[in-house]
Structure 1
């Protein structure tokens, strides 16, 4: 299956190495847990992701390229930004070779940098609610369609990989009906900043620290 392409090398602190995003979406989604993501210096630690592969019925890329999902078929490591339900922006990072059509949804981060800017954009003060969910995250970081197609390792984005420092849990993705059983949602164990609690259904779903 397409998600079985070689995973990234073991995570070490620093920018993503060459070829990091060319791996399968599932491997990249797990490896991004613990990374620090910022937009113009505002952001924090990635604590929750979801993988969407090209052969995945739940993926936007499954029917093939469209004007909306064109960035998903672009170079690996670039942003795919779309509007959910006509209301919220959602940020994904493209994975696999160009033209493949896979991506990782950034579902939640622990806010650590630029909290005043996030609070102003979100209109709330509780740090646990600033970026707990893809729509909240994009509002807090100021992400819109203007960032669609931009590389995540260049300004205004910055991405530094770091070991998660705690076990990474895997479980079913949220809010989908197709291929809902696939354990392609990843979260940092014990984090209070997840969009929803993530408890593995079986010991095999605890995939360990990065």
Structure 2
């Protein structure tokens, strides 16, 4: 993966100083999940006006035994087999909601799990939903960010380029790092987790 030179230190910017890039349309996701995933780092994800910079994601390809789509369509994962640019929301371990962005042409059933955000918008509302003040802990995990934003399974199958969602491309250069995925037992050696280098808002630090 090619990385842009002169990375911007977005981790130290005040939220008000973070510019929004151009809106991301569904066509952005009609590509290999391995192209989309790293390009989402530094993009802004908003849900009903709350959200922030995407600082950590994981890619899941349909040929990947860790992907929910690996064994074919089910009532739960059928949205993954549809067109790109839509949400796939599932409950993890019966406790936490997790949001994914469906990628690749219809039928591929590949997606990017959004693992962590750096809060920039709607922080008071996120604090109320999460019941805590520390910004670093508001969205530092896929379940945490869904709770902070109020995303549940009823939002599965929604388009990413229409309200209540809004996605904006990253503004400026970022330094993207990669590592193995977290909390899985199958294909656990694949380096398909991507993050913003040096970010304090990721769910787990990347190895040096």
Query: TM-score scaled by structure 1?
Result: 0.87
Matching residue of 1:15 = 23
SS state at 2:126 partner? helix
Contiguous gaps of at least 5 residues in structure 2: 3-19
1:145 matched to 2:153? The reply is yes
SS state at 1:26 partner? helix
Work out the CA distance in 2 between the residues paired with 1:79 and 1:45.
Answer: 18
Work out the CA distance in 1 between the residues paired with 2:56 and 2:172.
Answer: 11
What does the per-residue CA deviation read over 1:87-143, in whole Å, with 9 as the maximum and x for residues that have no partner? 000000000011111000000000010000000000000000000000000000000
Contact 1:74 1:149 (8 Å CA) reproduced: no
Contact 1:50 1:173 (8 Å CA) reproduced: yes
What does the per-residue CA deviation read over 1:30-52, in whole Å, with 9 as the maximum and x for residues that have no partner? 00001110100000000000000
- CA drift of 1:165 comes to 3.2
Of residues 192, 197, 200, the one that matches 1:192 is 200
Give the 5 Å matches for 1:36-51: 36-51=44-59
Work out the CA distance in 2 between the residues paired with 1:31 and 1:68.
Answer: 27
1:121 matched to 2:123? The reply is no
1:110 matched to 2:118? The reply is yes
- CA drift of 1:19 comes to 2.6
Matching residue of 1:58 = 66
Contact 2:117 2:139 (8 Å CA) reproduced: yes
Moved more, 84-93 or 21-30: 21-30
- CA drift of 1:26 comes to 1.5
- CA drift of 1:13 comes to 2.8
- CA drift of 1:164 comes to 6.1
Work out the CA distance in 2 between the residues paired with 1:153 and 1:137.
Answer: 19
Work out the CA distance in 1 between the residues paired with 2:30 and 2:118.
Answer: 26
Runs of 4+ more than 3 Å apart? none
- CA drift of 1:82 comes to 0.2
SS state at 2:198 partner? coil
Of residues 35, 43, 66, the one that matches 1:35 is 43
- CA drift of 1:16 comes to 2.0
Work out the CA distance in 2 between the residues paired with 1:188 and 1:165.
Answer: 11
Contact 2:25 2:161 (8 Å CA) reproduced: no
Query: TM-score scaled by structure 2?
Result: 0.88
Of residues 118, 127, 134, the one that matches 2:142 is 134
What does the per-residue CA deviation read over 1:4-38, in whole Å, with 9 as the maximum and x for residues that have no partner? xxx9xxxx931125631111111111000011101
**Cα–Cα, structure 1 residues 172 and 107, in superposed 2: closer, same or farther, change >3 Å?**
same
Report the aligned-residue RMSD: 1.7
Contiguous gaps of at least 5 residues in structure 1: 1-6, 201-210
